[in-house]
Amino acid sequence: MSSAVSPLAPTDVPEMPQIAGVRLATAAAGIRYKKRTDVLLAVLDPGTSVAGVFTKSKCPSAPVEWCRAKLKGGRARALVVNSGNANAFTGKTGKQSTAQTGAIAAKALGCKQDEVFLASTGVIGEPLDASKFDGVLDKLADEARPDGWMDAAQAIMTTDTFPKVATAQVKLGKAKVTINGIAKGAGMIAPDMATMLAFVFTDAPISPAALQALLKTGVEDSFNAVTIDGDTSTSDTLLAFATGDAAAYGAPKISKASDVRLKAFVKAFNGILANLAEQVARDGEGARKLIEIIVEGAVSKPSARKIAMSIANSPLVKTAVAGEDANWGRVVMAVGKAGEPANRDKLSISFNGIRVAKAGARDPSYNEKEVSAEMKKPEIQIKVSLGLGKGRDRVLTCDLTKEYVAINGDYRS
């Protein structure tokens, strides 16, 4: 966890309301860090629906494999998250550690192991001593309270410089339901779900199948459209929990994601995912600039996404932005290497709304002084118009600074 807060951190941090059926507690178990909280326990009411999406890494962590297996049951009573150790690339020891943690949590809450969900973040390749949870989870189960959201967000941080939270309230039927989300992520961030750890909670009565469908769709233009460094983590996990407690005050029970009564809820739910994903981009390790990349005029949306990601993951583009240089030549390079349809002579590029290249050449009205002034701003938009079709997409990233190298060079030492 970095000591200096990112200059891109949100200035307005919302008050996180309570959610019926969710209680939270945190502790310092000494997993890796000294004198800081590193364990989160979320206690969930019986009958809570759960959905999840995970990394596409071929080397997933033990907790990811655990959650994938437990997701089939569709119900959750507990979420245990630790920071400091990813429990990834730890072989049989990793599986034993998840089994031991699941057993400790199940005993503490009096529930089945299949209702316990786990997530770990931190250093890869070091065994996680699950005995450190013994006694701690019992204590947390007793201490869990409905108002511990900020503590929860802080407990899951690693190189993050600020806790990431988002909330929304919306009508479902005649009842008001609440959605809260927390996330962590600052490095080893590239889409393929998720791009870090994120947890979303609601009191809406939504079935596991419907919640899974909402999550799978919502993730595509939020967490899957953000990248810090092009590296997909072994541990990426996004879990959603719906306690259903709002049914007691009039919320209708939802069994299908296509239910028309979900319209406002879906908008708010996707808004939470987008908000958290942007906060991850804002907290990119060493970041000083938030970069929005828009690609339009592509042959399709998937093609636009690939080109946008090629730009977003280019170290040359990202270092140019860090140096406040509107180096559109590097953007051209990134478009060209993406392997997607593009026509050099139809290409237009703009920085913060100022067009610098048009029809495959420098814009005749290009003004270096004007563009340089824009590049000093903390938020930079790079727009690429391909002139080939109607495909459009948007991704978020950040600049690449010397601090990124320093943070990652010192990470294990």
Known binding site for substrate: residues? 158, 184, 195, 285, 408, 413
Neighbours of 298 (CB within 10 A): 28
Which residues, in sequence order, are bridge partners of residue 48?
A: 76
**Catalytic (active site) residue 161:** no
Closest by alpha carbon to 357, among 385, 379, 315? 385
* Token pair in block for residue 346: 């139809």
Please identify which residue in the block is written with the tokens 């942007």: 278
Helix (H) or strand (E) holding 386: none
The residue type found at 390 is K
CB 272 within 8 A of CB 179: yes
In our burial notation (b when 16+ CB lie closer than 10 A, e otherwise), range 23-42 reads bbbbbebebbbeebbbbbbb
What burial class does residue 398 get, using C-beta atoms within 10 Å of its C-beta: 0-12 exposed, 13-18 middle, 19+ buried? buried
Write out the DSSP string of 213-261: HHHHHHTTTTGGGB-SSS---SS-EEEEEE--GGGGGTPPPB--TT-GG
As separate numbers, helices (DSSP H) first and strands (DSSP E) second, the chain gives 11, 14
Strand partners, 114: none
Among 55, 159, 195, 227, which one carries the catalytic annotation? 195
Reported as half-sphere exposure (CB side, CA atoms, 13 A), residue 185 has a value of: 36
> Where in the sequence numbering do the catalytic residues fall?
195
